[in-house]
């Protein structure tokens, strides 16, 4: 007779393979915060490792059938925290550009939070479930894994290039910043479109709920 399947506990979810990869991302990101001030080469390696691991947690989730809501949130929160932390340090290095960096952090956080909240509000199980009818650009960004990886990687590389440029690593700094700038700009455009689309979804839900409440009176 087949053995009964053991019921999963919350503790089991915490140690799913993609979530373990997520913890490794958090650890390496925090480690890079401690090295940013005085060790640019080490920082570039450790921070880059944290970003690189982002390409493996989703793969592991699909391979081992271990996709979870906790893992999805952990992935997005880690992305937002690591990028924001690096931009914060760039604001210290380039104080004359501080307002620009503040706006970039605000756009990144607002766009992704509103998008995730809107997707959950319409019953979607993932913030990546974007079809072409909502936005062809966002659908390409979220549903083509190659596009998603390249855009996210080069976006992070742009910020890292600005960081390295401050320490006079010309080849890996100023030149790399100009090379990655177009993709970075594309990422900011998707953030704006994403925030606008999320706003449209939320106000549509608000209008529908208010209309139902009015007609039921």
What tens digit of pLDDT does each residue of 54-111 get?
A: 888 888 988 999 988 899 889 999 999 999 999 999 999 999 999 999 999 999 999 9
Residue 5 has pLDDT above 70, yes or no: no
Give the C-alpha separation, 33 to 126, whole Å: 30
Would 3 be classed as within a structural domain?
no
**What average pLDDT does the segment 24-41 reach?**
95
Residue 160 has pLDDT above 90, yes or no: yes
Judged by DSSP in three states, 30 sits in helix
Would 4 be classed as within a structural domain?
no
Residue 71 and residue 57 in contact, taking contact as beta carbons nearer than 8 Å: yes
Confidence at residue 69, expressed as pLDDT on a 0 to 100 scale: 87
Give the C-alpha separation, 84 to 78, whole Å: 10
85, two tokens: 């932390």
* Average pLDDT of the chain to the nearest whole number: 89
Would 194 be classed as within a structural domain?
yes
- Give catalytic residues, as residue numbers: 79
C-alpha distance from residue 183 to each of 16, 35, 154, 177, 179 (Å): 33, 27, 6, 10, 9
136, two tokens: 């062809």
Q: How many domains does the chain have?
A: 1
Would 2 be classed as within a structural domain?
no
Would 1 be classed as within a structural domain?
no
Give the C-alpha separation, 146 to 161, whole Å: 22
What's the domain range around 159?
Answer: 10-215
CATH number for the domain spanning 25: value is 1.20.120
Confidence at residue 172, expressed as pLDDT on a 0 to 100 scale: 67
Q: What distance lies between CA 2 and its chain's CA centroid? A: 42
Would 143 be classed as within a structural domain?
yes
Would 102 be classed as within a structural domain?
yes
Confidence at residue 124, expressed as pLDDT on a 0 to 100 scale: 72
Confidence at residue 158, expressed as pLDDT on a 0 to 100 scale: 96
The number of residues making up the chain comes to 217
Element (H, E) at 204: helix 174-215
Would 5 be classed as within a structural domain?
no
Residue 170 has pLDDT above 60, yes or no: no
Nearest to 88 by CA among 112, 75, 107, 104: 104
Global pTM? 0.88
């Amino acid at each position: 007779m087949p053995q009964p399947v053991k019921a999963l506990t919350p503790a089991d979810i915490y140690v799913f393979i993609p979530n373990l990869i997520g913890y490794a991302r958090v650890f390496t990101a925090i480690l890079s915060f401690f090295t940013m001030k005085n060790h640019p080469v080490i920082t570039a390696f450790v921070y880059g490792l944290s970003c690189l691991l982002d390409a493996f947690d989703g793969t592991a989730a699909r391979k081992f059938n271990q996709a979870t809501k906790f893992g999805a949130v952990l992935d997005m929160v880690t992305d937002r925290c690591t990028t924001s932390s690096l931009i914060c340090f760039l604001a210290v290095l380039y104080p004359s550009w501080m307002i620009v960096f503040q706006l970039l952090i605000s756009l990144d956080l607002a766009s992704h939070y509103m998008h995730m909240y809107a997707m959950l509000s319409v019953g979607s199980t993932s913030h990546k479930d974007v079809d072409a009818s909502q936005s062809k650009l966002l659908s390409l960004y979220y549903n083509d894994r190659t596009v998603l990886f390249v855009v996210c990687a080069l976006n992070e590389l742009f910020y890292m290039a600005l960081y390295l440029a401050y320490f006079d690593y010309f080849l890996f700094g100023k030149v790399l910043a100009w090379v990655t700038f177009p993709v970075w700009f594309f990422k900011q455009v998707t953030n704006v479109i994403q925030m606008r689309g999320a706003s449209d979804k939320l106000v549509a839900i608000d209008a529908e709920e208010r209309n139902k409440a009015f007609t039921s009176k």
